[in-house]
Structures are given as C-alpha cells and as structure tokens.
Amino acid sequence: METLPVFVGLDYHQRFVQVCVLDRAGGVLANRRCDNDHMAIAQFAGPFGDVRAVAIEACTGSADLAEILINTTRWSVHLAHPGYVARMKRGPDKSDFTDARMLADLVRVGYLPEVWLAPEHIRELRKLVGYRRQLTEQRRNAKLRIGALARERRVRSDLPRGSQLRLQSLARSGALGEQSRWIADRHLSRLLELDLEIKAVESRLTALTRDDPVVQRLAQLRGIGPVTAWALRANVGRFDRFANGKQLARFCGLSPRNASSGQRQADAGLVKAGDKYLRSILIEAAHRLIWHDERWKALAARLESRGKPRSVTVAAVANRWVRWLHHEMTEVRPRPMAS
C-alpha cells in the first residue's frame, strides 16, 4: 500500500509549535498547536503519511529542534530565512496558522528560502564568538565614556589613544569634577574586569579550536589573526557549502549592490546581507593586507589610481580576498571541534 507523501511547516515558539501538514496537492490535512517537544510533533504529523520535508523558520531554538527531529525521525528538516519568508507573504495579516501553512507550502513546491543548519559544535562556537564581541563592545563603550568626560572639561593627553595609561591620566586628572572623577574611576575598574573576561574567553576559544583544521589553516594566512579565524569559522562553518567565491563574498556582505534602472547604471554600496560583525572583521583584515601583502597592496594601488575612494578600495580588496579564500579553503576538510 502506497503511503501518502506529506509536507510539514512548523511555526516555532518557546512554549509551543504550530504544525501544519499538507498533502502533495497543497490540501491542508491538519493545522494545530503542539507542545514544543520533538516527540509531540512527530506523533502528530507522522500518522498523516510519509513526511517528505519539514520547514521551520530560523530563530532562537529552532536549529536545536530541527537537529533533534533529524536525529530521531530521520525527516528532511530545512531552516527557512525569516526575512525572505516575510517578503513572500501575500498579505499584511500574520497568524501562527497562516505562517505554518506558508512554510509547508514553500517546502512543498521547492521555493523555501533555505539557510544552512549549522551543526551543534559550530553553534556553540558562535555563542563564544558572540560573547567575546559583546565584551569588546562594552570595553569600547567604557573607553569612549572616559574620553567624553575628559572632553567635556577640555582635558587632553599626549599619550597614545586607547592606551591604559592615557585613560588613567584622563580619568584621574585634577581638571575633572569630583563626580566626573568618580564615574571615570568606575569605568576604569570595569575596564580591568572586561580585560580579564576577554582573556578568559579567548583562552577558551583557543582550547576549543586547537585541533580544528579550518582555524589552523586560516591562522596561517598572512594578515589573519585568531579573532578573524574564529569569526570566519563560526559564521561560515564549511567553505565548501558555497559553489564559488562570489557566493561566499555575498554571504559576508562584501559584494557591491547594483542599483541600475533603464539607461542608468550605478552601484549602491555593499549588499545589505550577512553578519555585520563578520563584515567589519574582514574590512579590518583588508586594511592589514594592503599594508603587509604585496599582492593586495598592488590591487589597492591600481584601484586608487583609477580614482576609487579609500573605503571603496578596501571593500574591493576584502571582496577579492574572500573569493580567493574560498578557493584555498575548499580543500580543507573540517572535523568536529573538541568539547
């Protein structure tokens, strides 16, 4: 007896999941709320037929649920890009009922805007990289606030910008008011705590990626330090999941965005895609490459000789370098990192 093929859409929430089951023709077999539990979802959707594909929007917690469903039910579970799914909706109304049905319908017809389901060790690495990012942003903000207190009273220092000695001289200057000095001293104490915490995170990242061949290969490249290597490994994961370097550069947000219409041909800066932190890390890497690598220095010189602004030149170098990096890294076979 032939089993009816069905397609499932999951609208994820922290406490429950809206489950929609469609047949091959798009008819709704069921659409109801289930507990946020893989067994409850499997017991509800499984009896309707042979589950060919499952779609769930990428959000906090959905990747973990998707991986558990794959391991326990052997279903083909796909993560959907929430931004593109929202644009594909046919009306302004939104409900769990319609969202789950649309996900099921998109995976049924093969139009689901899919994103990569990163394995657990990559998701754990992303958490550490994100935590380090939060700490460095807090450190930067503390430094800026000390500088703002000093500028308000026109206090200056000839010591190098951002150095600990300069910050201490500004914070403890007699020209600051009593309350300003107290606030600046609190910022200095917070900076010491943040420095220790950042070192602890970096030590953990080093231990976690010590035996990772992708991170090791990235760290061997000129101009690439451990922070850039960690960010690339966490965000890209596998380089071979991209067909070519152009796709990787676009994923990193380094491709120029076309804004042509009719006879008008123009660019509109970089594409609004990818992780902003990863893009900023790669732009910083491009600055280092221009200074220390003759190949990329020559490319930057050619672009600037044609009148390109420095910002455009650096972005172009980052774009070309990432495309070259794809070719270099697709031969490296990643393996799970130590826990």
- Where along the chain do its domains lie? 5-115, 120-208, 213-329
Residues counted in the chain: 339
C-alpha separations of 259 from 262, 263, 298 in Å: 10, 11, 28
CATH assignment of 5-115, given 3.30.420.40, 3.30.565.40, 3.10.580.10, 3.10.129.10? Answer: 3.30.420.40
Checking if the pLDDT of 205 tops 90, the result is yes
Residue % of the chain over a pLDDT of 70: 93
Q: Is 18 left (phi over 0), alpha (psi -120 to 50) or beta?
A: beta
Are 86 and 42 contacting, i.e. CB atoms less than 8 angstroms apart?
no
The pLDDT of residue 126 = 95
Task: Report whether 20 contacts 28 (CB < 8 A).
Answer: yes
pLDDT digits (tens, 9 = 90+) for 2-26: 578 999 999 999 999 999 999 999 9
Assign 265 a pLDDT band (cuts: 50, 70, 90).
low
Name which residue leads in pLDDT, 113 or 157. 113
Cβ contact 195:135 at 8 Å:
no
| CB of 331 closer than 8 Å to CB of 302 | no
The four Cα atoms 217, 223, 224, 228 give a dihedral, to 10 degrees, of -160
Cα separation of 136 and 149, whole Å?
A: 20
Three-state SS sequence of 36-102: CCHHHHHHHHHHHCEEEEEEEECCCCHHHHHHHHHHHHCCCEEEECHHHHHHCCCCCCCCHHHHHHH
Q: Distances in Å between the alpha carbon of 61 and those of 12, 21, 78, 121, 134?
A: 8, 21, 14, 15, 20
Q: How far is CA 76 from CA 26, 51, 83, in A?
A: 18, 8, 22
Cβ atoms within 10 Å of 211's Cβ, excluding its own: 12
Sign of the C-alpha dihedral, residues 284, 290, 296, 302? positive
Q: How far, CA to CA in Å, does 125 sit from each of 118, 201, 230, 315?
A: 11, 11, 8, 26
Report residue 262's pLDDT band, with 50, 70 and 90 as the boundaries.
Answer: low
Looking up tokens 């069905």 gives 6
State the amino acid at position 305 in one-letter form. Answer: S
User: Reduced to 3 states, what is the DSSP secondary structure of residue 256?
Assistant: strand
Q: Which tokens in the block code for residue 188?
A: 């200095």
Q: Using the predicted structure, report yes or no on whether residue 1 has a pLDDT greater than 50.
A: no
Q: Give the span between the Cα atoms of 289 and 286, in whole angstroms.
A: 5
Radius of gyration of the chain (CA): 25
State the average pLDDT over residues 68-91.
Answer: 90
Percent of the chain with pLDDT over 90: 69
pLDDT band with cut points at 50, 70 and 90 for residue 93: confident
Instruction: Please report, for the chain, how many H helices and E strands are present, in that order.
Output: 13, 8
3-class secondary structure, 154? coil
Helix/strand/coil percentages in the chain, nearest 5: 55, 15, 30
